[in-house]
Amino acid sequence: MRVHPDEGNTLEPERTNRSLSHRILVLSNPQSRRYRARLVDTVIATIEAGGREAIRLETFADVDRTVEAVEHLMQQYPSEITDAVVIGGDGTLHLAVNALVGHRVAIGYIPSGTGNDFSRGFFGKRYNDQSDAKWIAQALHGELVTIDLGQINQRYFVNVAGIGFDARVVQQLRGKKGWFPSVRYVGAALRSLLFEKANTIELAGSSQKLLALSRRPCFMLNFANGPYFGNGMQIAPHANFHDGSLAYCYIENAGFWKKLLAFKRLYQGRHIDFREVHCGQFHAVQVVTPGLPIEADGEWLGETPAFVRTLPAALSIRRASA
């Protein structure tokens, strides 16, 4: 039986009738459009044609329920689930990473969502840039590499986390799915530019450059494993998935028109030329100030205080073979 988010009475997955010792978990978003459902079926058929068993699991909107479902499978098939294919957008990948981190599972990712900012930064391409056949081959047989993860409180993130402006935008967009995500994001961002107040953020930790910014009026503060967020904004051009650290981008408060210009330049990564923008790397930091909004990978997490750190080489993921 397939798991659906509205069926809380079962965690039994849909699986093939094979009895093989090596199984591949296929994680997908049940809210995906019809063509993505066909993509999931094609992935499963490809796995079966290769002589392996596919276990299909649909993610829940709630991360804890997704983690519970995956843990149930890991206990049911100890040491047998060696790979996972994740099909969906940044939010689906976020759920999958939080469920799979700590398990010895290689992840193949097909970025069939709307924003796909992780894919922009890591693969250098988005879903429409290559055929389904190539994405499936990469997810199943691509080169396996390790990348860093970020952690903010108890939540892991694979791409970018933020406090302040962008987290408020994510909060405004919660539950609002549909076409033209870039337009919806820009609209919510412009509203936040008009009405979001600067915050004084108190920081603690060992990164002296970052701590020097503590208590300055802050418009937004981002912690980045990858360079892109917000459907194509290059918030941290200096971010690197493999360097063992997280990048930060601290934007001080400024007048409305200057913030608007900086917002426009985010798409080219040219916001870093403003004197109000401070960038660097760090390994861990404590956000002491309470009550500030938090997002990670485009998912609303709640409010500060928060402890943020990097987890070097914490995730195994497949990419196109060299």
The per-residue pLDDT of the chain, averaged, comes to: 87
**3-class DSSP state of 125:** coil
Record: fold of 157-312: Tumour Suppressor Smad4 (2.60.200)
pLDDT at residue 174, rounded to an integer: 67
Does residue 180 surpass a pLDDT of 90? no
The Cα 172–Cα 186 span in angstroms is 12
* Residue 32 pLDDT > 80: no
Model confidence at 2: pLDDT above 60: no
- Say whether pLDDT at 10 is over 60: no
Q: What is the pLDDT, as a whole number, of residue 178?
A: 55
Torsion over CA of 306, 310, 314 and 316, rounded to 10 degrees?
100
Q: What type of residue sits at position 248?
A: Y
**In the chain, domain spans:** 14-141, 157-312
Per-residue confidence (pLDDT) for residue 215, from 0 to 100: 85
What does the DSSP assignment read for 249-307?
Answer: EEEE---HHHHHHHHHHGGGTGGGGSTTEEEEEESEEEE--SS-EEEETTEEEEES-EE
Question: Quick one: pLDDT at residue 184?
Answer: 64
Mean pLDDT of the 204-211 span: 91
Assigned token pair, 35: 């063509």
Asked which of 21-35, 55-69, 109-123, 257-271 is least confident by mean pLDDT, the reply is: 21-35
Q: How large is the angle between the packed helices 34-49 and 132-141, nearest 10 degrees?
A: 50
CA 259 to chain centre: 25
pLDDT at site 189: 66
CATH superfamily of 14-141: Probable inorganic polyphosphate/atp-NAD kinase; domain 1 (3.40.50.10330)
Q: Which has the higher per-residue pLDDT, 35 or 85?
A: 85
Q: Looking at this protein, which amino acid is placed at residue 275? A: R
Q: Give pTM, 2 decimals.
A: 0.88
pLDDT at 9 over 80: no
Least reliable range by pLDDT among 60-64, 167-171, 302-306: 167-171
